[in-house]
Structure formats: C-alpha cells, structure tokens
Structure 1
C-alpha cells in the first residue's frame, strides 16, 4: 500500500509525514535505510485485479514514494538485487539486498527409505505446483505434503485432484502446527512455474525452510535457485517434470546425498536469521 494511504481509514490525511521525518533524520546526520518489500504494482496482474481508477491512483502514489525516498533515504533495501531493475526513480547504486531471515528450529530427520517432501505456501497465481505434483506422483518412492490455506485450496482443488495419488496429501496448518510436518520431512519444495516475478522474489517460507535446516529443491530461473546454487543447501534443476522425477528417484536410492546436503543446510542457518540481517543493516548504516 502506498505510504499516503496507510492511515487506518486509508485516506491520505498525512501524505508527507513519513518522508518528512526520514528527510529530517538524514539532514541531521542519521543514516536512513528503508526496506522496500515488493514491486508487484508494476506488473500486469496488479492492474487486472483493481478498478482502473484505483490502480491509476495507487500507481501514481507508489511512484511518488520512490521519488521521495531518493531524497530521504540513504539505502533502499530489497529482497534481492534482481528486483532492482523494476524499481524506478531510486538510484541503483544505493540498492542493497536484504532477503528474509528466519528463526533456527530443530526438526528431526525421519530416517526411513523414502523421500518425504514438504511445501508451505500458496497454490494460485504465481504459485503453480501442477508439474511438481505430477513429478511426485510419477516417482517411485517420494511423498509430498502440501500445506496451503483452506480457502485457496478450494479455489484450485479441481485442477489438482486428478493429479494426486495416495503419496500426496493436502493439509491446512500454520504456526507451531507446522513443526511436526517439518520434522517428518527430508526436503522442502519450491518447484514452481518460473515467471519474471519469481526471478527476483524472495519467499519468506524459503527462509523458514533454511531455519529448519531442510534442503530445498528449486527450479532454475528463480532468485531462490541462485541462492541454492551459491550455498549448496539443495538442488536447482530445470523446470521439467521428468527432471524432478529423476532427481527424486535418485535421492530415494541414494539417501546419503540427502544427508550430505542436509549438513550444509544446517550449517548455513546461523548466517540467515533475522538477527544476521539486522547485523548486516547495522554495519551498512554506520
């Protein structure tokens, strides 16, 4: 939501108050960093779901925010540097990447001879999981649990039910109720149809996967794939159903490969917490 509309009733009663305060801080020698979470308003889907008058007005206000930040903010923090090319007005040389952090949680390894997969998140819009479901169904010994909101599942259920077999289950949990599902999972999933948006998106659940020390299977062409390739905490493969099935069958036959990557996933947790992100910002703004 544009800053001007963040009053409780969303009326622009104080449109310049936030920017004026940030500008005051900067003029008085206080370094200012601002986290800019998303840029969805620049994509066609934003216009498609709003009244033309509304999206025209809000897009003008979003542009105004970024123009104002150019003078009121020292560093603009983004979920990934890839998002920067879609951010207008603010100088790219003052962008910094600040992906989500997580909390360290311990979840035991299930320890059987199957491959147990877990996905937490949406299933509509940018979150197309059909090929992932097909790949698991075609595998020899992989099990997939999808955790999504019940109302969202009802909207897409008809498209998924024909693909599901007895090794795929759908659950609707959140918060601490997710812990048992992490505990019985070997690997977490972000095998989702690529898009321009996914090329820079930094899903908060990816940080949660890291916090639980779980390896992740992702598809190439995404921001999270770049992270996995750089850090070794999972597998980045082409977005291809057969490629995923082949990987799952290989991991089921060679569980030591999962164990090796799990060690890496556990090792990188401390560098990807919210506290680590806060230390990064403190260093850059002092």
Structure 2
C-alpha cells in the first residue's frame, strides 16, 4: 500500500482555538478521509524535535517509509527550528535528516507556507538586534524550502510575490467545513448582519462598518447589526465608541462554540470590513471561511484574496473600503442575500473544503 507522509515540525495543539492551530488537525483528518477512500496509508510525523527523530528512526527501521508517494509539510509563524518549548531544539538536524531522506528517494515534497508577516515592519513586533537575527533565520527557512521542496503551497496567489522561494507556487482552497445549517425561523423584520472579530484596531474596519450602516439606514432602518468580540476588547473601548454602538442599537455579544453557531443560524449575512493593505490583499481571513461554512453570504472590502473567493462563485458582495460604497452593498445585500446563499450551498464545500484542499495538494505533487 502506498503511503503519504504528513510532516509537522511542531507539536499539534490539543485545543485548537485559532485558525493556525486548527488547520493541521483538519488537514490530518481530511488526509485520513482521502486515504481511506483511495487506499493510501497516512503517516503523521509530528511532535517536538526529539519525538520526531525517535519516530522517524523507528519508521525507517520498520520499513514504513519504503513506499512513500509524496510528503505534505506544514510550517508555523516561527521558523521550524524554533518550535520546541523554549525555542531551543533538542535535535536541531532532524528536519534536514527527514528532507534528505525524501530527496534521495525522489519523494515529492510540498510545504504550506502560511504567512510572511515578518517581511512587513508595521506588522512584525520585534525591534533591533532580535529582529535582525529572526529575519535571518526566516530567510534560512526559505532557503531550506527552496532546496528540499518541489511545491510551495500558499493561502492565496497574491501572496506569491512576497515569497522568495524559487519553486512552483500553488494557492490552496481555504478549508471549509461542513456544518449542519438549519436556519432559525425569522422573527425580525429587518435584515440581520453579523460582524465577528477584533474591534480594537482601526484596520479591522468595525467603525467603517458603522459609518456605512448609518448611511444604509438613513431613510429607514433596513439592517440591524450584531457584533461578536472578546469581552476585554469591548471593555477597552473608549466611552465614546461604546456610546455610539448603543445609540445605533448594535447588539454586542461575547460568545463562542455552540452559542456562536446558534447566532450564525439567526443571521442573514456577515461582514469583513477590513481596510485594504498589501498584507490584507493576500491574507484569507479565517472568519470568511467560517461564515461561508455556515452558509452566510458576505459583504467584504476589495482585498484581493478575499475578493477572488467571494466573486468567483458569487458568495456575496465586494465594496471599496469607504462608507458610501459599503452602504450601497448593504442595501443590495438586504434584497439579494438568498441568491448568494444558494450559490454557497451549490459550490462552496465542493470547491473549498478540507478534502478539496487535499485533492489539490495531491494533483500538484503527483503529475
């Protein structure tokens, strides 16, 4: 039986409370589902560097790595040499050992390169000598991928020009998840819009959304807004901003898990109002995938990667990052939300699920 190696040079989080922690687990589950269907054995090599070395040597001795078809690797926001606790690797050469083994046996390797925020001074928090050292290590990591990987998988095509790795670059579907969406019976006359996310950074665009909502509701109220955010972020808002939310009758909630799922069932559409920037052009918000997985049409600003996903299959409306254009989108969405929801139901999971992601990885590495 053919085998596929998943190489995660880090410990997989037990409790996945963010997109970066969730993705490796969902990918493993999707690979197992795909492997079961295709008759392929899936081997997950993960853990700290010492655990990876022990398992790698054990599998080699047992012959488990004799018939590898291809290898899929994940990276994290820090270079993989630093993923052990305390950022000091117990076995610093294990990653090179694994990759050399694969290269000698002509096993195709692809890595998901998830982020390049370290290339943007306004986003990367380190300063001085620490910053210089870390940027050097990040470049070493890029050189490592250039030497050992055949394909670099990215969150979006737009990110490609910021990745200095001379290899084929392929964007992957974002990883939508099947949800049992049973919409709640409508009890409110006005359209219900939802924003889930940060509220303590201008870049997130919540107050741009409020400006747009005021304009859309100028003649008469057509849309009501619910905001879901962290409680500490809400408490940290100025009294002036809190008062504005109250004056506009915005419902502010601090929910997650099943309570958030219930809220998704009550909403008509959702917002991603972030301001356009170079970084926002190529990043794919986790919330976009969550909204679409829950069959919620989306009004989003014209950041390139999210625009491509939404417009290609008609999952919502794109607007400029100003109140006037967003207000027009709100008015249109209140009339056409059901049309966009039908589009999501028809194609989103088929084209953007975790399983679709696995299929694209396989077809990119095995030609």
Name the TM-score, length of structure 2 as normaliser: 0.71
Q: Which moved more, 1:177-186 or 1:38-47?
A: 38-47
SS at structure 1 position matched to 2:270: strand
- Tell me if the contact between 1:217 and 1:234 (Cα under 8 Å) persists in the aligned partners: yes
Taking a change above 3 Å as real, the CA distance of residues 110 and 245 of structure 1, as seen in their structure-2 partners, is farther
Cross-structure match for 1:201? 283
The CA RMSD over aligned residues, in Å, is 2.0
Which ranges of structure 1 fall in alignment gaps of 5 or more residues? none
Taking a change above 3 Å as real, the CA distance of residues 113 and 26 of structure 1, as seen in their structure-2 partners, is farther
Whole-Å separation in 2 of the counterparts to 1:56 and 1:219: 34
Where do residues 118-137 of structure 1 align in structure 2 (5 Å cutoff)? 118-125=194-201, 126-137=203-214
Cross-structure match for 1:84? 160
Deviation for aligned residue 1:233: 0.6
Which ranges of structure 2 fall in alignment gaps of 5 or more residues? 1-77
Where do residues 149-160 of structure 1 align in structure 2 (5 Å cutoff)? 149-158=230-239, 160=241
- Tell me if the contact between 1:46 and 1:55 (Cα under 8 Å) persists in the aligned partners: no
Q: Give every structure 1 segment of 4 or more consecutive aligned residues whose post-TM-superposition deviation is greater than 6 Å.
A: none
Deviation for aligned residue 1:269: 2.4
- Tell me if the contact between 2:173 and 2:354 (Cα under 8 Å) persists in the aligned partners: no
**Of 167, 172, 183, which aligns to 1:108?**
183
How many residues are treated as equivalent by the alignment?
280
Taking a change above 3 Å as real, the CA distance of residues 247 and 128 of structure 1, as seen in their structure-2 partners, is closer
Taking a change above 3 Å as real, the CA distance of residues 26 and 238 of structure 1, as seen in their structure-2 partners, is same
Over alpha carbons, which structure has the higher Rg? Answer: 2
Q: Deviations over 1:230-267 (max 9, x none)?
A: 11110011222122223323444x3xx21111100111
Higher relative contact order (CA 8 A, sep 6+): 1
Q: Deviations over 1:194-247 (max 9, x none)?
A: 111110011111111111111100112331012212111100112221222233
SS at structure 1 position matched to 2:85: coil
